[in-house]
Structure 1
Amino acid sequence: MLLVLLTGMPVILCNMLLQSLVSVWCIRFYIKHFHQREGMLVGVLALFGIIIIVLMGNLLQIMLWGILFLWLGEFSNLQEAVYHSGVNFATLGYGDIVMSAKWKLLGPLEAVNGALMIGLSGASMLAVLQHHIRKQVGKIN
């Protein structure tokens, strides 16, 4: 179990760093392109842009786990490793592919990581939406 933690923690830390960068990138993107603009279309485009940014960040994190699984020899090709990683990261848990007994605890570790990172992604989207709503309400009052 210690080996699994020592193997998975660097990936979790990389994902936390990546998610932090993505979150800051979302804020900078919003401020640069949409902060001073108003209207429904502006809100839709801002939210759409943030969704694309966080989705790319989440996909990169899934790819990192997939690369780890491939490197550990659990899968013969990257596509299968990334598929398994995506199922873990999204906490779907299909169970159609199971890793060896030595490394299968990496699955729940990735699921916890994914739940936290997807939650933070949702928070980034919600922050943009809330800011846009406050601007619209302020315009009404």
Structure 2
Amino acid sequence: MRVHLLVAAPVMLLCLILQGVVVAICLRRYARYRKRWEGREALWMEIALLMAVMLLTLVCNIVQIAIWAVLFLMLGEFQSFVPALYHSSVNFATLGYGDIVMSERWRMLGPIEAANGILMFGMSTSLMTAAVLDVIKSNMARLMDQAKP
């Protein structure tokens, strides 16, 4: 188990850094664009901002899945990238199909990747939730301002 953690640690660290960078970029860009459109009714801008946050977090998660797949290739568990990517996707998303399993030597990397994936999806979800709550808050504030005599 110690060897598995030592092998997985750099990949998990890379995923954490990547997720942190994407979250920070999304928050900064989101805040910048929200400030620009503050006080105006801009349904399409809100939709575009929410879609951008969702798309960036999805791309970030796919890149992380690919990073894990590269690790599996480097360990010699797969002969080509596509099955490694599929297996990594199943692990990262915690689906656990079990139709493709790694050798007994490296099998423990699956649950480690799943733990990493659930954390990263949680971060993505919290970012999207924050964006949606901000849209709701700004719309409520705008409606309250319009209701004032």
Once residues 91 and 9 of structure 2 are traced to their aligned partners in structure 1, the CA distance between those partners, rounded to angstroms, is: 15
Moved over 6 A (4+): none
Tell me how far apart the structure 1 counterparts of residues 67 and 116 of structure 2 sit (CA, whole Å). 12
Partners of 1:94 and 1:75 lie apart in 2 by 17
User: What amino acid maps onto 1:52 in structure 2?
Assistant: L
* Counterpart-to-counterpart distance in 2, 1:113 and 1:34: 31
TM-score, normalised by the number of residues in structure 1: 0.96
Residue 132 of structure 1 and its aligned partner are, at CA, apart by 1.0
1:92 and 2:104 aligned: no
1:118 maps onto 2:141 in alignment: no
Q: Which amino acid aligns with 1:94?
A: Y
CA distance in 1, matches of 2:120, 2:45: 26
For residue 15 of structure 1, what is the amino acid of its counterpart?
Answer: C
Q: Mapping of 1:47-58 within 5 angstroms?
A: 47-58=50-61
- Does the 8 Å contact 1:74/1:100 carry over to 2? yes
Quote the offset at 1:42 in angstroms: 1.9
Tell me what 1:101 maps to: 104
> What is the TM-score when the length of structure 2 is the normalising length?
0.91
In the TM superposition, what is the alpha-carbon distance from 1:48 to its structure 2 partner?
0.3
* Structure 1 residue 25, shift from structure 2 partner: 1.1
**SS class of match (1:100):** coil
1:109, 1:124 → 2: CA distance? 23
1:21-71 Cα deviation digits (max 9, x unpaired): 010111122123333324322221111000110011101100110000000
- In 2, are the aligned partners of 1:43 and 1:129 still within 8 Å (CA)? no
**1:74-89 pair list within 5 angstroms:** 74-89=77-92
Partner of 2:48: 45
Offset of residue 105 of structure 1: 0.3
Judge which range, 25-34 or 66-75, deviates more. 25-34
Partners in 2 of 1:35 and 1:80 — Cα distance?
44
Q: Secondary structure at the match of 1:94?
A: coil
The yes-or-no answer on 1:15 pairing with 2:18 is no
Q: Distance in 2 between matches of 1:35 and 1:88?
A: 39
2:30 is aligned with 1:27: no
C-alpha distance in 2, partners of 1:34/1:99?
A: 46
* Matched residue count: 141
Identity level (%): 42
2-structure distance, mates of 1:32, 1:110: 34
Compare CA radii of gyration and give the structure with the larger one: 2
Query: Quick one: distance in 2 between partners of 1:40 and 1:69?
Result: 44
Aligned counterparts of 1:33 and 1:130: Cα–Cα separation in 2: 16
